[in-house]
Amino acid sequence: MAAKERRIILKNIDRPGYGNQLDSYLEEGGYEILKRALQSKPEDLREEVRKSGVRGRGGAGFPAGMKWSFLDFKSGKPIYLLCNADESEPGTFKDRQIIHKDPHQLIEGMLISAYAITAKVAFIYIRGEFPEGAKILERAVEEAREANFLGENILGTDFSCEIYVHRGAGAYICGEETGLIESIEGKRPYPRIKPPYFPAALGLYMCPTIVNNVETLCNVKHIVAMGGEEYAKIGRPGNTGTRIWCVSGHVRKPGYYEFEGGALTLGELIYDVCGGLYPDRTLKAVIPGGSSMKILRADERFKGKDRDGNEFDLGLEDLILDFDGIAQSGSLSGSGGIIVLDDTTDMVEALANVSSFYAHESCGQCTPCREGSLWLKKILERMSRGQARLEDVDLLKSVADQIPGRTICAFGEATAWPVQSYVAKFRDEFIAKAEQQAAGHSRGNGCSEDKIQLV
Amino acid sequence: MNLKPETLEKIEAVIPRYPQKRSAVLPVLHLVHEDQGYISREATEWIAEKLGLEPINVWELITFYPMLRDKPVGKKLVRVCRTLSCALQGSYKICETFREVLECKLDEPTPDGEVMVEFAECLASCHTGPVVMVNDELYEHVDETKAKEIAGKVRNGTGGTPSDTV
Ligand SMILES: Cc1cc2nc3c(=O)[nH]c(=O)nc-3n(C[C@H](O)[C@H](O)[C@H](O)COP(=O)(O)O)c2cc1C
Ligand code: SF4
Ligand code: FES
């Protein structure tokens, strides 16, 4: 049986009687950690975050303490803190829960973080499709201001900090940190090239800037509460703290679940926590970290050597659920969005659906990404609509292979990885589609139920 | 273009939040959009003037961001999530149901300007799919029956208002 959930970030979320207003939060000891933090030196708080080993929850899993240490404190320019609440990687829905149901936890985490990095202005960049979330955050900011947790001379100290809520307008690329910065600057959200535009040195208005995800910033509160070393005892080394996994697709109990790093396997998550598959279905594939991550086939074996040189040979269900565990599969846990696909899924259609997303969201700056993503979508839609050709498999691969490493931002990888992995792992299905269609069946195999139509 | 006094007030309040005026362009666009239902050419020029920008600096945002429109899109905008997790739960079918009940084509406002149905990309509620937004309101677990019910409300003008739940 799977380990039990350990709710740190989600502790009060969905708890009967707990509301998203300040009163509820104060009853739970809200803003006490901020009070304590303001008695410490900012550099000591940064040291706690470093010791905690906490890795960013937005996608790349970069250690937050290390990111903070890159900040240019000597430039004399203001330092900005940006909270990435763009939450737009398909399959991810954890930040929405925090924003809607416990906004003050985020605000307290942000204030502590702002103090630690000596930022006096912070923005929450929230995706445009969360109008309700933006209102909730605006109200929470006002409540915090009235109680002097935010604004001038917070709680009688000489620390002043403002938090503003900034709404996006429906573009996925605003989740990429430099695109997000351009968006706040009032420009098209075109990602910037790194180097030289590493936000910690040249971020918002060319000032040192930290961009962290909602969940990461919430964690900062708990790190400061328990101390970095204590926090680091939760989870496995390199995978400290808890993580919120968002499960969707073909499982009986989709939802968000918070576990200590490495507390259970992917199989336990799917079968024990999420109630398994629908009756009479079998597992076909899993996308482990948002739709841009490489897909895993249910019967694959993952072999290699871990960091300590020990050999491993694992099946999908044995993968340990944390950053390093999922990485053993050659894919990544990304944003924590796990999409489960059962045997009714037509993989060509599933890929067409995913590629359509990336074609729609490419910002258009880089030719390989702009043109490649569109061609991938066109080919896949044609295949799904009954005109698949045998040579399409290789064509898809060759287009996808031209993109990664040749673009300004990691969206290039996000576009290519699904195509490369679906085509490599479900090659037979792509070929069968073309053969069946040549034989006169207009719609392909696998799509057993009419209602599961993906394109 | 006649902006409501509240809108003008909100615009004046949002500009000083930002260290640089240009940063206020997206919030101002949202406010004008809410007030007018879309961003007209006149509004584009007005916003540019207000923030010391060229109209192209505003126009290039309207053409980039899916949520900003340069034409009216219908008083009720129905957005059906089409991305993978929702599609697996049948969202393409749900979109058809909306179009049938509301008697409209995809991406085209009805002739009376009341309604438009379109697809949206992942709305970050994949565990409760298919999800549909009507203006600012999110509807979850939208099956056939629920889709018809919501579409009915949209048609008689009651769906999609905050605190409205089916
Ligand atoms: C195309 C693309 C989209 C992204 N979307 C998001 C997003 O929606 N939310 C998010 O937190 N991070 C997103 N990221 C990651 C951010 O660039 C950045 O790494 C992250 O916000 C840093 O926060 P963290 O260190 O706390 O994870 C995206 C990255 C890329 C390349
Ligand atoms: S990789 Fe794609 S999304 Fe990223 S900057 Fe280039 S064109 Fe834009
Ligand atoms: S796929 Fe529809 S909300 Fe994410």
Q: For residue A37, what are its two tokens?
A: 């933090």
Contacts of B93 in chain A (CB under 8 A): 451, 453
pLDDT band for position A439 (cuts 50, 70, 90): confident
One DSSP character per residue, A7-49 reads -STTTTTT-TT--SSHHHHHHTTTTHHHHHHTTS-HHHHHHHH
Inter-CA distances, A14 with A11, A100, A112, A329, B117, Å:
8, 10, 25, 33, 32
Give A 108-137 residues with CB within 8 A of chain B: 121, 127-132
Q: Return the pLDDT at A113.
A: 98
Residue A74 has pLDDT above 90, yes or no: yes
Tokens at B24, concatenated = 């206020």
The class that CATH gives domain B76-155 is alpha beta
Query: What are φ and ψ of residue A39, in 5° steps?
Result: -85, -10
Does ipTM top 0.90?
yes
The CB density around residue A14, as the number of other CB atoms within 10 Å, is 12
What pLDDT shows up at residue A13? 97
Closest approach of B125 to chain A, Cα-based (Å): 5
Report the 10 Å Cβ neighbour count for A282: 10
Looking up tokens 């985490």, which residue turns up?
A109
Residues of chain A contacting B84 with CB distance shorter than 8 Å: 90-91, 249, 287, 291, 339, 350, 353-354, 357, 454
Distance from chain centroid for Cα A240: 17
User: Is the Cβ pair A127, B122 closer than 8 Å?
Assistant: no
State the span(s) of chain B assigned CATH 1.10.10.1590: 5-64
pLDDT band at A236; cut points 50, 70, 90: very high
- Write out the two tokens for A386: 């009954």
Question: 3-class DSSP state for residue A249?
Answer: strand
Q: Which residue has the tokens 């009915």?
A: B152
- CA proximity to B88, closest of A226, A16, A247, A271: A247
Instruction: Give the side-chain half-sphere CA count within 13 A for A263.
Output: 23
Whole-number Å distance between alpha carbons of A407 and A92: 24
pLDDT band at B166 (very low <50, low <70, confident <90, very high): very low
At position A13, the amino acid (one-letter code) is I
What confidence category does residue A307 fall into, taking pLDDT thresholds of 50, 70 and 90? confident
Output the CA–CA distances (angstroms, integers) from residue A253 to A247, A270, B86, B127, in the order listed: 8, 9, 15, 8
Provide, as residue numbers in chain A, all residues whose Cβ is less than 8 Å from the Cβ of B123.
Answer: 129
The pLDDT tens digits of the residues spanning B11-31 come to 999 999 999 999 999 999 999
The nearest CA of chain B is from the CA of A226 a distance in Å of: 31
Pick the atom of ligand 2 nearest to A403's CA: 1
Sign of CA dihedral A333, A339, A341, A345: negative
A454/B126 Cβ within 8 A: no
CB contact at 8 A, B119 and B112 = no
Does the pLDDT value for residue A238 go beyond 50? yes
Residue B122 in contact with residue B81, Cβ under 8 Å?
Answer: yes
What pLDDT shows up at residue A455?
Answer: 62
> What are the structure tokens assigned to B39, written together?
């961003």
B56 to A134, A188, B47, B65: CA distances (angstroms): 28, 11, 11, 14
Residue A172: per-residue pLDDT: 98
Distance, CA of A59 to CA of A67 (rounded, Å): 14
Q: Are residues A278 and A271 in contact, defined by beta-carbon separation less than 8 angstroms?
A: no
Could you give the residue range(s) of every CATH 3.40.30.10 domain in chain B?
A: 76-155
Report the pLDDT value the prediction gives residue A342, as an integer from 0 to 100. Answer: 97
Under 8 Å between Cβ of A91 and B84: yes
Name the nearest CA neighbour of A297 among A187, A153, A426, A383.
A426
Taking residue A194's Cβ as centre, other Cβ atoms within 10 Å add up to 14
CB contact under 8 A, A169 and B90: no
DSSP letters for A311-324: EEEEEGGG-BSSHH
Would you say residue A442 has pLDDT above 90? no
Q: Which tokens belong to A239?
A: 């995978």
Which residue in chain A has the smallest CA separation from B26? A186
Residue A281 with chain B: CB contacts under 8 Å: none
Nearest CB neighbour to A357, from listed B67, B83, B88: B83
**What's A201's DSSP letter?**
T
**pLDDT confidence of residue A452:** 47
Predicted local confidence at residue A6, as pLDDT: 97
In ligand 1, the atom with minimum distance to the C-alpha of A88 is 8
Q: For A163, which residue in chain B has the nearest alpha carbon?
A: B17
Retrieve residue B4's tokens. Answer: 């409501």
Q: Which two tokens stand for residue A356?
A: 């359509």
- What is the average pLDDT across A270-297? 97
Q: Does the distance separating the beta carbons of B19 and A96 come in below 8 Å? A: no
List the structure tokens of A303: 């072999």
A255/B127 Cβ within 8 A: yes
The whole-number pLDDT of residue B160 equals 63
What per-residue confidence (pLDDT) applies to A1?
A: 67
Query: Residue B29 is encoded by which pair of tokens?
Result: 């666009």
A15-24, B39-48, B150-159: segment of lowest average pLDDT: B150-159
Pocket test residue of A93, A174, A176, A192 for ligand 1, highest count of atoms within 8 A of CB? A176
Q: Do A129 and B68 touch (CB under 8 A)?
A: no
Mean pLDDT of B44-71: 98
Residues with CB under 6 A from ligand 3: A 90; B 81, 83-86, 122-126, 129, 131
In angstroms, how far is CA A323 from the centroid of its own chain? Answer: 12
pLDDT band at A451 (very low <50, low <70, confident <90, very high): very low
Q: Provide the 3-class DSSP secondary structure of residue A444.
A: coil
B126 and A92 within 8 Å at the Cβ level: the answer is yes
What stretches of chain B adopt beta strand conformation (E)? 76-81, 115-120, 132-134, 137-139
Which is more confident, A161 or B74? A161
pLDDT tens figures, A121-132? 999 999 999 999
Q: Give CA–CA dist A191/A364, Å, rounded.
A: 10
pLDDT of res. A446: 36
Atom of ligand 3 nearest to the CA of A90: 4
pLDDT mean over A225-242? 97
CB contact under 8 A, B26 and A166: yes
Pull the structure tokens for residue A99: 């924003």
Tens of pLDDT, residue by residue over A244-258, are 999 999 999 999 999
**Contact predicate B57/B25, CB 8 Å:** yes
Per the CB < 8 Å rule, is B84 touching A249?
yes
Mean pLDDT score of chain B: 94
Chain A, 13 to 32: residues with Cβ < 8 Å from chain B are none
Test mutation, B64, B106, B137, chain A, max A CBs within 10 A: B64
Contact A341/B93, CB-based, under 8 Å? Answer: no
Residue B155 has pLDDT above 70, yes or no: yes
pLDDT tens for A335-352 read 999 999 999 999 999 999
Distances (CA, A) of A327 to A87, A239, A271, B160: 22, 12, 21, 42
Report the interhelical angle of A347-361 vs A427-438 (nearest 10°).
100
Do A339 and A266 meet the contact criterion of CB atoms below 8 Å apart? no
Contacts of A256 in chain B (CB under 8 A): 127
Residues of chain B with C-beta less than 8 angstroms from the C-beta of A247 = 127
Reduced to 3 states (helix: H, G, I; strand: E, B; else coil), residue A236 is strand
pLDDT digits (tens, 9 = 90+) for A380-403: 999 998 899 999 999 999 999 999
Size of interface A-B (CB pairs under 8 A): 148
What is the gyration radius of the CA atoms in chain B, in angstroms?
17
* Ligand that comes closest to the CA of residue A408: 2
Which of A90, A187, A453 lies at the smallest CB-CB distance from B93? A453
A-interface mutation test, from B34, B126, B138, most A Cβ less than 10 A away: B126
Q: Tell me the nearest-neighbour CA distance from B130 into chain A, angstroms.
A: 11
Mutation test of the interface with chain B: which of A126, A136, A339, A353, choosing the one with the most B Cβ atoms within 10 A? Answer: A353
> Rounded CA gap, A406 and A167, in Å?
30
Report the percentage of chain A scoring pLDDT > 70: 96
pLDDT reading at B163 higher than 50: no
Fold entry, domain B5-64: Arc Repressor Mutant, subunit A (1.10.10)
